[in-house]
Amino acid sequence: MPAPVLRKGVYPPLPTFFDVHEELDVPTYQQHIRNLAGTGLAGYVLMGSNGEAVHLSSDERVKLIEAAHEVAGADALLVAGCGEQSTRATLEHCRRAASAGADFALVLPPFYFKGRMQEQALLTHYRVIADASPLPVVIYNMPASTAGLDLNAALLAKLAEHPNIVGIKDSAGDMAKLAQLVGQVPADFAIFAGSAGYFLPALAIGAVGVVAALANVFPRQVCRLQELFQRGELLEAQRLQSLLAPANAAVTTIYSVPGLKAALELTAGYGGPPRLPLLPLNEAERKHLAEILEEVTRLT
């Protein structure tokens, strides 16, 4: 069977839903995927930062991939978070994700021993994983979640030479680095922005899509931004980007995972609590978030 192609487009990083006892709420998880179907998305990212991957056991990860595979449909690609602090544990996640039905492995760099994560260590880590992983590997560069560890363009270009490393989700927001990277990687290496907040600038320098938390809440609007860019309707794309930016900030940097879940409660009627130590938004935060979301709904 040929390896899947990492299609361009919009991928929401799905939240993981929990009940009041902090157990997996699989029915809500699957309903959320059904609600997103038909909105123009290319696929889904499972167990990313917004999926609270660090709060999940290995068995829970498998259960979520199986649940998503069951309802996502044959055309939707599933990108499963597999990163761990050791190469060995990351590979085990890759193998289990493949067996559960994932199409790609999203791999965050190890950062616990950040001082020793120099170029050769990181090259070795990713190449060993790519050599043995049954899934094609997508690099996940997110300095905010890796103690500031930021993979530079030269390192990424070397990794892109590996036939089983097929793309990157870059959440650093460094447009100069992305522009440099576009010029150094093979044409089939897929570069995805890591946020809807800078989606349009990333498209302008060669990104092929976005992994955006906001696409859980406003999937059609985020997809439309890419459509407007591809049609050359740049003024309208700029207007939409400016409207989405405040809402994106609210469900990422300002309120994080609890904000995303609150946004879904406000717009879709479900969301639920995060796992401790994350706490739900307080009433003042929810009110502020509701005002921001209403502005997007009203003007788009």
Q: How far apart are CA 221 and CA 212, in angstroms?
A: 12
**Contact between residue 54 and residue 274 where contact means Cβ atoms under 8 Å apart:** no
Q: For the chain, how big is the Rg over CA atoms in Å?
A: 18
pLDDT in tens, the chain (300 residues): 677 899 999 999 999 999 999 999 999 999 999 999 999 999 999 999 999 999 999 999 999 999 999 999 888 999 999 999 999 999 999 999 999 999 999 999 999 999 999 999 999 999 999 999 999 999 999 999 999 999 999 999 999 999 999 999 999 999 999 999 999 999 999 999 999 999 999 999 999 999 999 999 999 999 999 999 999 999 999 999 999 999 999 999 999 999 999 999 999 999 999 999 999 999 999 999 999 999 999 988
Tokens of 141: 């560069």
Active site residue 177: no
Which amino acid, one-letter code, is at 196? Answer: A
Domains of the chain are 9-242 (3.20.20.70)
What pTM does this model have?
0.96
- Output the furthest CA–CA distance in the chain (Å, rounded): 52
Q: What crossing angle do the helices spanning 283-299 and 256-268 adopt, rounded to 10°? A: 60
Q: How is the beta sheet containing 43-46 ordered, strand by strand? A: 9-11, 209-211, 190-193, 165-170, 137-141, 104-107, 77-81, 43-46
- Map tokens 């499963």 to a residue: 80
Q: How far apart are CA 16 and CA 54, in angstroms?
A: 11
Q: Which is the catalytic residue, given 158, 169, 177, 287?
A: 169
